[in-house]
Amino acid sequence: MPIQCVDEKGLTERFSGEHLRISIWTQEALLTQKAYGLIPEPYKVTVDGVKLDGLFLGAAGNVRWAFKAETNNAFVIWRPRLLLKKDNQPDGDQLRDGEIAGYLKAGSG
């Protein structure tokens, strides 16, 4: 089962206004409502020669995300962090303790 918001709100409802960005000014590369940062874009993704069904959220050619589970009251919240490619890390930023890698599906496209 895909991970989705508990109340089924989409990103546009959850993040009001036009400033949905991926922060590059911190070490986190998290989704934010700041007026600066990378603009999220839809991508088609191919993994090991297999085209994944749908559109996936990314930015600047990066589509792989790290997800970390955090408990908030009775819910588990998955915190996404875009794994940005850097000169010394051509496969993208490394996973940190407690993170798993994956893709953030944005639509069926």
- Taking the model in full, what pTM does it have? 0.72
Q: How far apart are CA 2 and CA 88, in angstroms?
A: 32
The one-digit pLDDT tens for each residue of the chain (109 residues) are 344 454 555 555 555 555 666 766 555 666 666 666 788 888 999 999 999 998 998 888 889 988 888 887 878 878 888 888 877 666 667 898 999 999 988 877 6
Distant-in-sequence contacts of 55-59, Cβ < 8 A, 24+ apart: 55/105, 55/106, 55/107, 55/108, 55/109, 56/103, 56/104, 56/105, 56/106, 57/104, 57/105, 57/106, 58/82, 58/104, 59/22
Under 8 Å between Cβ of 31 and 20: yes
Q: How many CB atoms lie within 10 A of CB 59?
A: 19
Residue 24's pLDDT is 66
